[in-house]
């Protein structure tokens, strides 16, 4: 099954509006239209309206790094799916490990957010992954299985073409220590098997991105693994040249 890879840049809380726009301009200018990957950027909320305007008509998509599940309400400091759409976002990251570990998100909040994103026609990229302690104590598969089952519980239909996953081992995020291609493939194959139990044969179409210290030097090896369908890139997405070489590592299209 041939799945179009996704290469997504997570800007986190790093760039101001003008710096984001300059980054987008340079990445756009560096694309030649032959790239196989779908390219997405997840800037801070402040950059979404200007970013979406700039990128309209470009091959780059744009999304939010997080959202709350209610459409509106007295939730000071939160942003709703409707507001993300209004700001021009088509995609949203859900359950990033920084949200889980620093801001108390759980499998249950992830589930509610996934449902809300789908209900508002936002394409969620749902992040899962084990900590170092969980890996070293042999619990990687149990953790991934729980995150998948709880996070996708009670979804009405099999929305496999409307969402993607990102496997991001927590010990690899921002540490410079990426999973080896073999470790990534092993986890991705396991994840696809779990998804097949939930979604049946359709799981073969679901994109599973790898994230955690992806950089130009390791992107090709990671992306050549059969179940690795793209990359979620933090640090290396802040520099146009390094992000472009990761996009190129995902290959050229037909
Ligand atoms: P990193 O971040 O590429 O800087 O490790 C990845 C992520 O947090 O999505």
148 lines ligand 1 (CB under 6 A): no
39 lines ligand 1 (CB under 6 A): no
% the chain with pLDDT above 90: 90
Residue 96 designated active-site: yes
Which ligand 1 atom is at minimum distance from the Cα of 176?
5
- Neighbour-count burial of 19, counting CB atoms closer than 10 A to its CB (0-12 exposed, 13-18 middle, 19+ buried): middle
Name the residue at shortest CA distance from atom 2 of ligand 1: 234
Name the residue at shortest CA distance from atom 7 of ligand 1: 234
Question: Which is more confident, 156 or 89?
Answer: 89
Tell me the per-residue pLDDT of 59-103, one tens digit each, with 9 for 90 and over.
999 999 999 999 999 999 999 999 999 999 999 999 999 999 999
Residue 188 designated active-site: no
Per DSSP, the three-state class of 212 is: coil
CA atoms within 13 A on the CB side of 23: 26
Q: Which of 78-82, 184-188, 195-199 has the lowest mean pLDDT?
A: 195-199
What number of other Cβ atoms are within 10 A of residue 56's Cβ? 10
pLDDT of residue 1: 59
% the chain with pLDDT above 70: 98
pLDDT of residue 199: 87
> Which candidate in 35, 105, 134, 168 is catalytic?
168
| Ligand 1 centre distance from Cα of residue 231 (Å) | 10
pLDDT of residue 253: 79
Return the structure tokens found at 11: 């800007």
pLDDT of residue 202: 86
Per DSSP, the three-state class of 245 is: helix
40 lines ligand 1 (CB under 6 A): no
| Ligand 1 centre distance from Cα of residue 131 (Å) | 14
Q: Is the pLDDT of residue 158 over 80?
A: no
Q: Is the pLDDT of residue 154 over 80?
A: no
235 lines ligand 1 (CB under 6 A): yes
Q: Is the pLDDT of residue 156 over 70?
A: no
Tell me the per-residue pLDDT of 2-48, one tens digit each, with 9 for 90 and over.
899 999 999 999 999 999 999 999 999 999 999 999 999 999 999 99
- Neighbour-count burial of 171, counting CB atoms closer than 10 A to its CB (0-12 exposed, 13-18 middle, 19+ buried): buried
177 lines ligand 1 (CB under 6 A): no
Return the structure tokens found at 27: 């990445």
- Neighbour-count burial of 103, counting CB atoms closer than 10 A to its CB (0-12 exposed, 13-18 middle, 19+ buried): exposed
232 lines ligand 1 (CB under 6 A): yes
| Ligand 1 centre distance from Cα of residue 201 (Å) | 30
Using the 8-state DSSP alphabet, how is residue 16 labeled? -
Per DSSP, the three-state class of 94 is: strand
Return the structure tokens found at 10: 């997570």
């Amino acid at each position: 099954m041939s799945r179009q890879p996704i290469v997504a840049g997570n800007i986190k809380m790093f760039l101001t509006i003008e710096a984001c726009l300059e980054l987008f301009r340079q990445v756009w200018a560096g694309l030649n239209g032959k790239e196989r990957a779908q390219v997405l950027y997840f800037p801070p909320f402040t950059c979404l309206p200007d970013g979406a305007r700039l990128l309209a008509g470009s091959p780059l998509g744009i999304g939010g790094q997080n959202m709350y599940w209610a459409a509106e309400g007295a939730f000071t400091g939160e942003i709703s799916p409707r507001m993300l759409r209004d700001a021009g976002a088509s995609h949203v990251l859900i359950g990033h490990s920084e949200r889980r570990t620093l801001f108390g998100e759980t499998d249950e909040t992830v589930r509610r957010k996934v449902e809300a994103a789908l209900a508002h026609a936002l394409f969620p990229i749902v992040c899962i992954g084990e900590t170092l302690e969980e890996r070293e104590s042999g619990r990687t598969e149990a953790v991934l299985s729980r995150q998948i089952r709880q996070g996708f519980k009670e979804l009405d239909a099999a929305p496999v073409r409307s969402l993607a996953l990102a496997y991001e081992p927590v010990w690899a995020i921002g540490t410079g220590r990426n999973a080896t291609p073999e470790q990534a493939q092993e986890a991705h194959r396991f994840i696809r098997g779990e998804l097949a139990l939930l979604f049946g044969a359709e799981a073969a179409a679901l994109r599973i991105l790898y994230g955690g210290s992806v950089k130009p030097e390791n992107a090709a090896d990671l992306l050549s693994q059969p179940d690795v369908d793209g990359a979620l890139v933090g640090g290396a997405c802040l520099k146009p040249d390094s992000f472009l070489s990761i996009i190129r590592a995902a290959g050229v299209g037909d």
